[in-house]
Amino acid sequence: MTNKINLVDLGKNILEHHYNDKVVSVNDHCLRIAINKNNTFPWHRHNRTDELFIVLEGNLRIEFENGEFVDLFPNETYCVKSGIIHRTIAIGRTVNLCFESDEEDTEYIDFNE
C-alpha cells in the first residue's frame, strides 16, 4: 500500500451485499474490510490466531457455540481468541474491519455431522 486510504469512504463506495477484501498486509497479519447486509457467516474457528473485529457502520453480532453473543456497534471492537467457535451475523448493513493472520486459518464447523 503506497496510498492513504480512508476506511469510511472505502466502505461507502462498496454497494455489494457481501464483500470481503484485504486492505493492507502488516508483517504476517492483514487488515480486511467486510461489508454484509443481513448475512450470517458459517460457524468456524481459527486455530492459530486471534481475530479482532472493529465495526465502522451498523450492528455486527458475534455468536458463540454456547449460545452467548456480543453485539458490536460503530467504533466498538472485540477480539475472538484462537480456537473459539463463532459466527458473525450482519444485522442490516454492516461494515467492519478484521485484523487477522495473513495466512488462511479458518476451519468451518458443521454441527450436523
CATH: 3.40.1190.20, 1.10.260.40, 1.10.3720.10, 2.60.120.10. Which one for 7-94?
2.60.120.10
Which run of H or E residues covers position 89? strand 86-101
What is this structure's pTM?
A: 0.91
Q: What pLDDT does residue 111 have?
A: 83
Burial readout 60-94 (b: 16 or more C-beta within 10 A, e: otherwise): bebbeeeeeeeebeeeeeeebeeebbbbbbbbebb
- pLDDT per residue as tens digits for the range 81-100: 999 999 999 999 999 999 99
